[in-house]
Amino acid sequence: MHLKIIACKVLQRELSSIAWSSPHVLDVTTLRQQFHNVPKNLHQQLQAEIDRIESGDDRYSNDAGPFDAIVLGYGLCSNAVIGLHSSKYPLVIPRIHDCISILLGSKERYQDVCHTYPGSFFMSKGWLEVGESQSEALLKQRYLEYMEKYEDEEIVRELMEMEEEMVSNYKNSIFIRWPGLEDSHARELVKQDAEKRNWNYLELDGSKLLLTKLVNGEWDVFSGVKLVIAVDGTYTMEGAALVDNNGNEIVAAGGASVEDGVITGFGEMRTTPIPEGCEIIDAKGLYVGPGLVDMHNHSGGGHWFYDEPELAAQFNLEHGTTSILATLYFNMNKDQLLEQIETVQKAMKQPEGANIAGFMKVAQAMLEQGIV
């Protein structure tokens, strides 16, 4: 296969250590890590890069011919990858939250580590070289972004206190060692930083498993695919790839029939009943499956649930999430929390916010504020 890989520059060393032995032809482009600071900006940069590759205007790709797929070396990354699309190539995105899962080898291991060492901040040599971790530069950037949006010094001050409070909740600094990569100087720097912050310092071995599967084309299922959102009416979607409710089986060219907003048929086209006189929708190249459920979501499309819940809800709905728990901040005072809750509850009563199932709040913090 001929694969185009677009990855975060944080992973450039790890990716290079694997790409040389891939059985496929790889064309690799890495983008600056600082695009993560504003998820909407990262989304725009990734989509622009995909568009340039499609049109042939990409300055970094070689002239070996069309690609079999575009592979993204990113996780959800604050939902920045949601809505990315290509009309020419399949997009392959690992089903993970962020690059820590890539460095540790799987999202399951990442979850186990977070459970074993709660309150951990992860670092790697790549992060130290090109990323902005808990640095003053990142806080300064956040300040400028908040001032541009709110133009109110008091609001910005409260938001910056929240940013600093989130950093203060960490108690462990975990350095991820990558196999075969010399990182003694990086480890020492992270250890010294942990001592200054009075954090525990830990080291874990990284794993090449997930990144190797990604560049070798060992993909269990495509992520980041186009989705069909079922709406009221009577129609049949033909030719779509159908995903079952466990995500384990895909019917390559199936059909789904809807009568008055109720799904009445789902499966292979030859066994799916088609309502008489219904509209036929050509869904070739699209995926049809159960709605996604998101149990922890702060935003969507650059809109925060505490501020613009309807817009955040609609963005998520457009990308297949039919049930969301809107996540609120954990360190507001009682009045601010009640105001956020009221904003979300009002949105839940509107058609645009119908996919908001409720709100999520750290229980202990709510108890401390006397809300529940």
The three state secondary structure string of the chain is CEEEEEEEHHHHHHHHHHHCCCCCEEEEEEECHHHHHCHHHHHHHHHHHHHHHHHCCCCCCCCCCCCCEEEEECCCCCCCCCCCCCCCCCEECCCCCCHHHHHHCCHHHHHHHHHHCCCEEEECHHHHHHCCCCCHHHHHHHHHHHHHHHCCHHHHHHHHHHHHHHHHCCCEEEEEECCCCCCHHHHHHHHHHHHHHCCEEEEEECCCHHHHHHHCCCCCCCCCCCECCCCCCCEEEEEEEEECCCCCCEEEEEEEEEECCEEEEEEEHHHCCCCCCCEEEECCCCEECCCEEEEEECEECCEECCCCHHHHHHHHHHCCEEEEEEECCCCCCHHHHHHHHHHHHHHHCCHHHCCEEEEECCHHHHHHHCCC
What pLDDT is recorded for position 131?
Answer: 62
Most confident of 41-45, 129-133, 156-160, 165-169: 41-45
Q: What is the dihedral of CA 302, 333, 324, 211, to 10 degrees?
A: 60
Mean pLDDT of 344-365: 74
Quickly state the pLDDT bin for 91 (edges 50, 70, 90).
confident
| Cα separation, 348 vs 142, whole angstroms | 29
- The letter for the amino acid at 199 is W
What are 310-319's pLDDT values in tens digits?
888 888 887 7
| Cα separation, 39 vs 97, whole angstroms | 13
Percent of the chain surpassing pLDDT 70: 81
What pLDDT is recorded for position 166?
Answer: 62
Q: Is residue 252 classed as helix, strand or coil in its secondary structure?
A: strand
What pLDDT is recorded for position 363?
Answer: 41
**What residues does 182 pair with on adjacent strands?**
none
Residue with the two structure tokens 């540790």 = 104
In the chain, domain spans: 2-97+211-215, 101-207, 235-288, 292-369
Lowest mean pLDDT among 74-78, 129-133, 175-179, 204-208: 129-133
What are 3-40's pLDDT values in tens digits?
889 998 989 999 999 888 888 888 898 988 878 767 77
Q: Strand 25-31 and strand 2-8: pairing?
A: parallel
Mean pLDDT of 343-370: 71
| Residue 220 tokens, joined | 């269990």
Q: Strand 2-8 and strand 69-73: pairing?
A: parallel
pLDDT(306) > 70: yes
pTM: 0.56
Q: Of residues 136 and 350, which shows the higher confidence score?
A: 350
What pLDDT is recorded for position 175?
Answer: 93
108 Cβ neighbours under 8 A, 6+ residues apart = none
Contact predicate 312/300, CB 8 Å: yes
What are 145-199's pLDDT values in tens digits?
677 767 777 777 777 777 666 666 678 889 999 998 898 998 998 898 888 888 8
What pLDDT is recorded for position 95?
Answer: 78
C-alpha angle 199-204-210 in degrees, rounded to nearest 5:
130
Quickly state the pLDDT bin for 48 (edges 50, 70, 90).
very high
| Cα separation, 124 vs 111, whole angstroms | 18
Q: Of 225, 197, 198, which Cα lies nearest the Cα of 84?
A: 225
What pLDDT is recorded for position 221?
Answer: 42
What pLDDT is recorded for position 165?
Answer: 65
Contact predicate 291/318, CB 8 Å: no
What are 135-146's pLDDT values in tens digits?
555 566 667 767
What pLDDT is recorded for position 261?
Answer: 66
Contact predicate 36/141, CB 8 Å: no
Quickly state the pLDDT bin for 226 (edges 50, 70, 90).
very low
220 burial via Cβ count (<10 Å: 0-12, 13-18, 19+): exposed
Mean pLDDT of 80-106: 84
